[in-house]
A and B are shown apart, each in its own frame.
Chain A
Amino acid sequence: MRKLLFANLFRPPLTEAPPTPDDAALAELGRALERATRRRLGRSLAIREVDAGSCNGCELEIHALSNAFYDVERFGIRFVASPRHADVLMVTGPVTKNMAEALRRTWEATPDPKWVVAVGGCAKDGGLFSASYAVTGGVDAVVPVDLHIPGCPPSPTALLEGLLALLQRADEGR
């Protein structure tokens, strides 16, 4: 183990330069943050991930944000284990009827100020599953959405662009 750690000390870092915040996301966030916080968040966001019936594709890419290439923690963004600790709810899936109440309660359990980021095509409007009898048809059918990151699933870079846009606006909104 020591040998591996030592060798890694001398390898150049794999972590890549951050993408610029997504313009479309910034425009979408303009609306959201009018009602947003004056409290200082600092450059820090705690995210609670909520799987509201996704196929787990979005989760795979959200997980990838923590690998050495994207290293999302360098931006002060981290994932937490309870909505009580979260600033942001990151919701995936078409919101199945079975998950609608759980999502609503998770939102209510999240302290203000809070943002909701809907991730993926399903979270936007139900996506391919929108005609199904078992889904409510998107996150905003259940809780208000501040930002949508499209893709099936969105790549880690797309996720990062959206989150950086959120951070930038949260900074300006103080």
Chain B
Amino acid sequence: MAGADLARGAQLAGRLSGDATVAYASAFARAAEAATGSEAPPRAQALRALMAELERLANHLGDIGAICNDASFALMLAECGILRERALRAADTAFGHRLMRDRILPGGVAADLDPAGSDAISGLIEAIRRRFPALIQLYDGTASLQDRTVGTGRLDPALARQYGAGGHVGRASGRGFDSRKSPGYAPYDRLDFTVPVLEGGDVDARVWVRIREVEQSLGLVDQLLKGLPDGPVRVDLPLAAGEGMALAESFRGDVLAWLRLGPDGRIARCHLRDPSWFQWPLLEAVIEGNIIADFPLCNKSFNCSYSGHDL
């Protein structure tokens, strides 16, 4: 990363953890903008948020299915897998890449959203709204599945606080931190959404946080599509020395990007911090006293990143 220009830096940042490529690219881009004293145009900021919420939807849907699958409940994996695939396809139509990789650049976004893309996203939201309630009911109403998730892998709220765990890990154990609210960043300051917080701390609570976040993301996508500002989607950043930092809320928690630019505008130093740093150590605490067969459930309900952590 050191010595690279911002374009290459953004590509590398987007490849730290593939499932959070939008969040990383967005944190990196905003850090670069802070370092150069510039700002992405309003439309670009809205499109970034749209991508971020699509990424959150796809990952949460995949996780909800995969957690249930670790309790051998394959129907949920199949059903959630369908919705996840639909989300990736909508992202592909709207932004030209299933995972939306390299779509966010310092200064803005790589391409504008056209009406066909906007329709694809609306169609996706409609499909999830139609299908998801039955799946929530399925999760909530299957006693044999609940038997595996309720009370399993409980994370003490005091530990979640002590480690500063973000994302569903923190929020299922009473820690309501969400970088979209605090410190907050555009365009989320203008959008209406709540951050679900539960106290249970078990696998079940982490599933429910995801379910509630899926619902919130659907609302956010609606608002973003309706209120999409007009105008350019990218500005050029000046080549200047500077230092900048930004947080972006990925599906698994807050991603931090810090960088220092040299006088030639190239990256002198950069640090990218994955939310998993504060979650992996807690997984060890959570599995204590649980049977071995429940390890996959605990692990998947955390879903920490290997690559994001092991830089």
A interface residues (Cβ-Cβ under 8 A, vs B): 1, 4-5, 14, 51, 53-61, 63-64, 66-69, 128-129, 152-153, 155
Contacts and interface: CB of A to CB of B under 8 A. Distances in A.
Contacts of A67: 78, 81-82, 84-85
A56 B75 contact: no
B307 A64 contact: no
B99 A128 contact: no
Please tell me the size bucket of the interface on B.
Answer: 20 to 34
A4 B79 contact: yes
B17 A55 contact: yes
Given A64-B84, A67-B85, 8 more contacts: A1-B138, A53-B307, A54-B18, A57-B101, A67-B78, A67-B81, A67-B84, A155-B98
B156 interface: no
Contacts of A128: 8, 11-12, 15
A66 B12 CA distance: 28
A61 B82 contact: no
A1 B101 contact: no
Contact of A57 (B78, B81, B85, B99): B99
Given A54-B307, A69-B85, A152-B101, A60 B19 contact: yes
Contacts of B98: 61, 155
Interface in B291-311: 305-307
B21 interface: yes
B130 to A, nearest CB: 12
Which of A5, A56, A58, A63 has the most CB atoms of chain B within a 10 A radius of its CB? Answer: A56
A152 B11 CA distance: 11
B21 A1 contact: no
Given A4-B134, A5-B75, A14 B18 contact: no
Interface of B: 8, 11-12, 15-19, 21, 62, 75, 78-79, 81-82, 84-85, 88, 98-99, 101, 134, 138, 141-142, 305-307
B3 to A, nearest CB: 10
B18 A58 contact: yes
12 contacts: A5-B75, A55-B15, A55-B17, A56-B305, A57-B15, A59-B18, A60-B18, A60-B99, A64-B85, A64-B88, A68-B78, A153-B99
Nearest to B14: A55
A131 to B, nearest CB: 9
A67 B17 CA distance: 22
Contacts of B88: 64
A4 B138 contact: yes
